[in-house]
Structures are given as structure tokens and as C-alpha cells.
Structure 1
């Protein structure tokens, strides 16, 4: 099997489109995967599954079929079996492979779809909720980096768009969005301490546990100011392929922010009425968790 890499329109916010079905793929659990040349659907990234997949419908010949999941698949360009998710043996974007969006149906269609033109429609309300959570996640990263900047004893060698030590990137253990919030877990272990981050009291700096309420207030003050500024948001797209290296950009009052990102986002921060985070430290002090909840207008 040889297929071209799927062209995607979700980075620009598209939720509908038409395309030709290129392949079908039984998934072994009764479900059935459909590959189209183009799609507005955002699939779950098998290497960094932070934003959940879009759901919606695929309509062929007037019959609407529910898309219950959307996965990343790949196939060797020299010909081979279509592989899904964790079964893919190479790194995402390997140029010897085609990278595919697999629309998952609850069951195999009664009529063959390959070669037919279908209409694809994403659940727009769910997409917007996930986009709000993803935008909030990036803003939290920048605000948290700024609030923790004085806890670095030395330059860790990586800075964010505003020149602050990039705690979010250096300490990140996991990041997951849902329709209500983003949840980011940071590991405060030996590796981070070697890079210069301190959780202990030093000079006039209180221990992280003691300082956490003030840090939370600092972060939320920044988030509130950024939302109030109604800053524009966009995803820069060098090409339409699923594997293109896209970047999230936001024109914040403190300057333009820039973060590598493969997900979907709001168009303006004015689409939010509020954005707040809750920071908690594990009992052993080894993990910091941020739950960031956007409220939409």
C-alpha cells in the first residue's frame, strides 16, 4: 500500500471539508478506519497525546457515519502495511513514511467508500472547547515560567519567548487537555535541580511549598491581563501536510509569544471571559501539577 501524507486544514480552524477516500482499514475490534486525501479532523498524536482527537461525522451518499475517534497512522512509502498509533516503528515525520489521519468509524460501512467523495464535519463545539484548553495551556506555560524565574540559581540553557528560563519545557512530565481544562504535570527531580532550579528556601527565597500561593496568584494575574488584552492567536503553517512543523503564536502585551505546536487553538483571547490555574505540589514535593480552566464568552 502506498498513500500520500494527509493534508490537514485544522490548524487554521476548519471544521468542515470534502475529500476523496483513499483507503479503508479494519481495526480488529469491530471499528473501521478511513483515510482521506484531505481532512479538517485533528487526530490524536501517538508520540505526544496531549490534545484528544476530534469527533464528528463522515457523510457519503447522504448517509452520515459517526466518526468516534481519529488516530495517527503511517505507511512505508516503499509499500507496506498501514500501521496505527503505538505500532508505528519510526519517529513522527520520518520522510520515508507517509503520515495519515485515520477517521475511526464504529463499524465497517455497508458500502465501500474508497474512491468516493465524502463530506467531513467535526463536532465544532467540542473542538472549540479543546482549542480553548490548548490555548490556555500555552499561556499557563509562559506565565508559570515568569513566576518561577527567580528560583533558578543558574541559566539552564533554555529560555522561552520572553527570555525566562523555560521551566515548562524543562520540567514537563505530561500535558493533557479535555473540554474543561488542561492538566500539566511537572517533575521536580534531580535532573531539574542540576539545571539550577531550587525548591528549597535560599536567602530571602521561601521554599516552593510555602511560596506556592503567591506563585499561583502571580500566574493568575498575568493570565487575567492577557485575556483582557484580547490578543490575537494564530497557528503558523509552512505546508498543509500533517507532519508540517507548525507554531503557535500570540501577540501578548509583553511581546509576541511563540511555541511549537501541532494542535488547535482559539483565534483571539477575547473568546475567553477568564482563565485561571490551580497549582498543587505533591506530598513528597516531587511533582507540581497545574490545572488550568478556561471560561469561554
Structure 2
């Protein structure tokens, strides 16, 4: 088996295809896990599983096509043990581990280590996920602005200088093909930090109108988006950068995104509050032009 190295990735710049050398093939319950030196595939992050892994095809030198049903994060620990997904006992980036994008093939058949292969991501699926992920970040900024007057204490701020409710209250974030879903906790700890949820249920229509109005204003500006990264390593700390009229915003993010806001025809958020008032949910739906 070839020496495992940290996978180099090209998806931050928007790549959806590329050639690679197979380094190893690992048996998985779902089929074969193929590890290559460089990939355009975005893998599901086991530490923060917000955006699903890419799917697509792996094409061998003889032209045989293998369906890539998923792409997940894998790692090799200091003891040489291989693990994927939630079986990895440390957070991504732990320097004692090697970090890998693992391409999950249907079935056990796979090109042998040393083979050159072509990797092609499902572009339509990637575009849908990128739209939802970009929409998720924009919603967070608009939500922070809409809730700014509910803070009674100083709290860390977002890239536009607003109290960062999204970061402070976040429970889970999931990026889907049609929408993103963000869940926030409104418990005692958030109140202690200074957030006032009083009357939030009654304010939902007004908050929704404010957020969607702001989102529409931003889309009309067709701001540029990019992913800044210090290097091609899977573990590199990447930043989503959007040049909004109010200023250039950076948000730490390991996912994929659109290149301009004008790629979206509309972006709308739907806000709900659980019956007991402990969970605040925002579903953000993008429509591409």
C-alpha cells in the first residue's frame, strides 16, 4: 500500500474534475474507500457535518466508470489505525493524524493503488449545495442584524459588527439540496450571555420581513464571493469571503459556495419557534437564476 498523505483538495476554488493517483483502497461497510493524492471532491466533515460529501464518478485508465456514492473524511492515527467519519476520535486538523478524503464506491471493485484516475463531481448537485451554503451564511448575517436590539450585554460580533447570535446560539446547521436548516438554542446559557427572547414568537413576522428584505438587497448588489485558503491541504483553515456593500465579510467555512450573489434569483428565510420556546429554527431557501 502506498504511503498515506494528507489529501490535497481543489474544491475551494470551485473545481469539479481532475486527475489523481490512487494511494490506497480501504474496505468499508458501504463498499470500497478510495484514497487519492488530490481531489476535487468535498468530503463530509466529521467534526461539523453541515454540508454533505460530493458524489460523482471515478474513471479508471481503461475507461471503466465507478460511481462515487459519497465522500467522507478519514484519518490515520499515530498508531496507524484507519478510521472514517464519527469513528475518528479527534477533531479534524489534529496534528498527530493524517487527514484524508475517502471516496466511497458502490461495491468492492476499485482501481489498484498506483493507478491514475479521473475524478468528476456531480456538478448539478454541487451547485445546489453551494447555493444553499452561500444562502446559509447570508441568512446568518441578516439574522444577526435583525436580532441586534435583543442583546443586553456585550457579545462577540460578526463581520459586519453586529452581535453574532448565529455563532453564539448555534446548535446544528445542515446544508441541503433545496435549503439550509439552522437550529439555535434559546436556553438559560444564552440568556446569561445577555440575549432577551421575550416576545420573540410575536415578533417572528416582523423579523422574517426584515431578514428577507436584507437578503433581497444583498442579492441585488451581485457581490463577489471567494474562498480564501492558506494552502491546498484538506486541513487548511478556509474562509468564506463576500464583498457586501457594508464591508467585506469573512466566515470560517470548509464547504463550497457560489462565485457571485447574482447567481441567485431569490433567497428567503422561514423562522419558527418550538412550542416551549427553547429552539429557534431558520430554513433558508435559495432559487438560482
What TM-score do you get using the length of structure 2 for normalisation? Answer: 0.97
> 1:154, CA displacement in angstroms?
1.1
2:224 to 224, 232, 240: 232
Match of 1:255 in 2: 247
Match of 1:144 in 2: 143
Once the two structures are superposed, residues 189-227 of structure 1 have per-residue CA deviations (whole angstroms, 9 ceiling, x without a partner) of 001000000011xxxxxx111111101100000000000
Match of 1:133 in 2: 132
Aligned runs of 1:39-58 on 2, under 5 Å? Answer: 39-58=39-58
* Distance (Å, rounded) in 2 between the aligned partners of 1:21 and 1:154: 53
Task: After the TM superposition, list the runs of 4 or more consecutive aligned residues in structure 1 that deviate by more than 6 angstroms.
Answer: none
SS in 1 for 2:26: strand
> 1:163, CA displacement in angstroms?
1.1
Match of 1:100 in 2: 100
Unaligned runs of 5+ in 2: none
Paired residues of 2:32 and 2:107 also in contact (CA < 8 A): yes
* Distance (Å, rounded) in 2 between the aligned partners of 1:22 and 1:79: 19
> 1:87, CA displacement in angstroms?
1.4
2:177 to 156, 160, 179: 179
Match of 2:33 in 1: 33
Match of 2:268 in 1: 276
* Distance (Å, rounded) in 2 between the aligned partners of 1:15 and 1:97: 27
Match of 2:72 in 1: 71
> 1:112, CA displacement in angstroms?
4.3
Paired residues of 2:22 and 2:111 also in contact (CA < 8 A): no
Once the two structures are superposed, residues 88-120 of structure 1 have per-residue CA deviations (whole angstroms, 9 ceiling, x without a partner) of 1222101121100000001111x6421000000
Task: Please tell me the root mean square deviation across aligned C-alpha atoms, in Å.
Answer: 1.1
* Distance (Å, rounded) in 1 between the aligned partners of 2:29 and 2:141: 42
The verdict on how the C-alpha distance between 1:265 and 1:112 changes in structure 2, with shifts beyond 3 A counting, is: closer
* Distance (Å, rounded) in 2 between the aligned partners of 1:105 and 1:276: 36
Unaligned runs of 5+ in 1: 201-206
